[in-house]
Amino acid sequence: MGRYVIRRLLMMIPVFIGTTFLIYYMVYQLGGDPISAMFGDRGADPVFVAQKRAELHLDDSLIVQYWYYLKGLLQGDFGTTLNGIPVADELKRAFPISIRLALVAFAIEVVIGVTAGLIAGLKRGKFADSVVLVVTLVVISIPVFVLGYVLQYFMGLQWGWFPATATPGDPTWEDLILPGIVLGSLSLAFVARLTRTSIVENIRADYVRTATAKGLPRRRVVTVHLLRNSLIPVVTFLGADLGSLMAGAIVTEGIFNVDGVGRLIYLSVTRHESSTVVGAVAALVMIYLVMNLIVDLLYAVLDPRIRYA
Amino acid sequence: MRGTTRAKWLAGVGILALAATACGSSSDNKKSDTGSGAGNSASGGSSSGGYYTASSTEPQNLLQPANANETGGFYPLSMMFRGLYTYDPKTGDTVPAMAESMDTTDSVNWTVKLKSGWTFHNGEPVTAKSFVDAWNWGALSTNKQINATWYQPIEGYDQLHPEQGEPTAQTMSGLKVVDDNTFTIKLTSPISSFKAQMGYTPFMPLPTEFYKDPAKYGEAPIGNGPFQLDTAAGGWERKKQITVKRYDNYKGNDKAKAAGVKLVFYTTYDAAYTALRDNKLDVIDQMPTSAIASFQKDLGDRAIVQPQLSIQKIGFPLYDPEWSKPGAEKVRQGLSMAIDRAAITKAIYKGLEVPANDFLAPGIPGHADVCGDTCKFNPEKAKQLVAEGGGIPHGKLTIATNADGPHREWVTAVCNSINQVIGAGSCEPKLYPEFSVARKDISGHKMQGAYRTGWKADYPFPDNFLNDVYRTGAASNDAGYSSPVFDNLAKQAMATADKNQSLDLWKQAEAQMVKDLPSIPLWYYTTKAGYSTNVSNVQFDVFGNPVFTEVTVK
* C-alpha–C-alpha distance, residues B401 and B408, integer Å: 7
Identify the pLDDT of residue A309: 59
Contact A48 B477 (CB under 8 A): no
Q: Is the ipTM of this complex over 0.85?
A: no
Q: State whether B25 and A158 contact (CB < 8 Å).
A: yes
Q: Is residue A59 part of a domain?
A: yes
pLDDT class of B39 with cuts at 50, 70, 90: very low
d(CA A8, CA A4): 6
In CATH terms, is domain B80-221 a member of 3.30.300.180?
Answer: no
Q: How far is CA B478 from CA A217, B181, B481, in A?
A: 80, 41, 8
Q: Are residues A94 and A57 in the same domain?
A: no
Q: How confident is the model at residue B257 (pLDDT cuts 50, 70, 90)?
A: very high
pLDDT at residue B48 greater than cutoff 50: no
Q: Does the beta-carbon distance from A42 to B476 stay under 8 Å? A: yes
One-letter amino acid identity for B491?
A: K
Together in a domain, A103 and A32: no
Question: How many residue contacts between A and B have a Cβ separation below 8 Å?
Answer: 178
- Which chain A positions have a beta carbon within 8 Å of B439's beta carbon? 32-33, 36-37, 41
- The mean pLDDT of B255-273, rounded to a whole number, is 92
Q: Are residues A24 and A142 in the same domain?
A: no
Same domain as A244, residue A105: yes
Q: What is the pLDDT of residues A212-252, one digit of tens each?
A: 899 889 888 888 888 888 888 888 888 878 878 877 788 88
The DSSP result for A130-148, as a single string, is HHHHHHHHHHHHS-HHHHH
The answer on A6 and A134 residing in a single domain is: no
| Angstroms from B271 CA to nearest CA on chain A | 5
Identify whether the C-beta of residue B202 lies closer than 8 Å to the C-beta of residue B65: yes
CA distance, residue A225 to nearest chain B CA (Å): 45
Residue B253 has pLDDT above 50, yes or no: yes
A260 and A215 housed in the same domain:
yes
Residues B31-58, mean pLDDT to the nearest whole number:
56
**A222 compared with A305, residue with greater pLDDT:** A222
Asked whether residue A92 is domain-assigned, the answer is yes
For the segment B322-340, the average pLDDT, to the nearest whole number, is 93
Final residue belonging to a domain, choices A40, A74, A108: A74
Secondary structure string (H, E, C) spanning B415-460: HHHHHHHHCCCCEEEEEECCHHHHHHHHHCCCCCCEEEEEEECCCC
In CATH, B307-527 is 1.10.357.10: no
Look at A267 and B110; give whichever has higher pLDDT.
Answer: B110
Taking an 8 Å cut-off on Cβ atoms, the answer to whether B239 and A259 are in contact is yes
Confidence label for B358 from pLDDT (cuts 50, 70 and 90): very high
> Please, which residues have CB within 8 angstroms of residue B231's CB and are 6 or more apart in sequence?
B220
CB contact under 8 A, A257 and B3: no
Please write the tens of the pLDDT for every residue from A128-153.
999 999 999 998 899 888 999 999 99
Burial class (CB in 10 A: 0-12, 13-18, 19+), B192: buried
pLDDT class of B24 with cuts at 50, 70, 90: very low
Contact B490, B466 (CB under 8 A): yes
* Dihedral (Cα; A109, A115, A119, A121), 10-degree rounding: 60
- Give residue A44's domain range: 2-74
Contact A259 B265 (CB under 8 A): yes
Radius of gyration of chain B (CA): 24
Supply the pLDDT for residue B25. Answer: 33
A97 contact residues in B (CB cutoff 8 A): none
Query: In this structure, is residue A287 part of a structural domain?
Result: no
Per-residue pLDDT at B214 exceeds 80: yes
CA distance B31 to A193: 44
DSSP H/E element including B186: strand B182-186
Which among A32, A83, A254 has CB closest to B61? A83
At B49 the pLDDT is: 56
Instruction: With beta carbons under 8 A apart, name residues in chain A contacting B445.
Output: none
Number of domains in chain A: 2
- Determine if residue A90 is left, alpha or beta; phi over 0 gives left, psi from -120 to 50 gives alpha, anything else beta: alpha
Q: Which stretch of B187-191, B242-246, B456-460 has the lowest confidence by average pLDDT?
A: B456-460
Confidence of residue B45 (pLDDT cuts 50, 70, 90): very low
Identify the pLDDT of residue B432. 86
Q: ∠ at Cα A173 (A168, A175), nearest 5°?
A: 45
- Mark which of A15, A47, A74 sits at the end of a domain: A74
Average pLDDT over residues B280-291: 92
Q: Which pLDDT does position B130 carry in this prediction?
A: 96
Residue-wise pLDDT for B217-241, tens only, equals: 999 999 999 999 999 999 999 888 9
What is the distance, to the nearest Å, from the Cα of residue B355 to the centroid of all Cα atoms in its chain?
A: 19
Domain boundaries of chain B, sorted by first residue = 80-221, 307-527
Percent pLDDT > 90 in chain B is 69
Q: Is residue A223 a part of any domain in this protein?
A: yes
Scanning A100-139 for CB atoms below 8 A from B yields: none
Q: Decide: B155 and B186 in contact? Cβ < 8 Å.
A: yes
Nearest chain B Cα distance for residue A94, angstroms:
10
Q: Count H helices, E strands: chain A?
A: 14, 0
A79: in domain: no
Checking if the pLDDT of B356 tops 90, the result is yes
Structural domain ending residue among the three candidates A43, A74, A105: A74
Q: A91 with A70, same domain?
A: no
Do A144 and A200 belong together in one domain?
yes
Q: In this complex, do A39 and B1 lie within 8 Å of one another by their Cβ atoms?
A: yes
Question: B244 pLDDT band (50/70/90 cuts)?
Answer: very high
Q: How confident is the model at residue B23 (pLDDT cuts 50, 70, 90)?
A: very low
pLDDT of B320 over the 50 cut: yes
A60 belongs to a structural domain: yes
Interval B481-496 mean pLDDT? 92
8 A C-beta contact, residue A82 and residue A34: yes
**Do A121 and A40 share a domain, yes or no?**
no
Q: Cβ distance A132 to A192 under 8 Å?
A: yes
Highest-confidence range of A67-76, A235-244, B170-179, by mean pLDDT?
B170-179
Decide which of A171 and B25 is more confident. A171
Sign of CA dihedral B318, B324, B329, B335: negative
Measured distance between the N- and C-terminal CA atoms of chain B, rounded to whole angstroms? 34
For residues B473-502, give the mean pLDDT: 90
Sign of CA dihedral B158, B162, B168, B170: positive
A161/A211 same-domain check: yes
All residues of chain B having their beta carbon less than 8 Å from the beta carbon of residue A43 are 443, 474-478
Residue A54 lies in a domain: yes
CATH number for A176: 1.10.3720.10
Q: Which residues contact A135 (CB under 8 A, 6 or more apart)?
A: A116, A189
Residue type, B250: Y
Q: What's the mean pLDDT in B407-427? A: 92
**Per-residue pLDDT at B91:** 87
Mean per-residue pLDDT of chain B: 87
Amino acid identity, residue B31?
K
- How many C-beta neighbours within 10 Å does residue A5 have? 13
Say yes or no for a CB contact (<8 Å) between A31 and B272: no
Check whether residue A258 and residue A196 sit in a common domain: yes
Q: Is the pLDDT of residue A93 over 60?
A: yes
Supply the Cα-derived Rg of chain A in whole angstroms: 24
The answer to whether A270 contacts B146, with C-beta atoms less than 8 Å apart, is no
A91 and A67 in a common domain: no
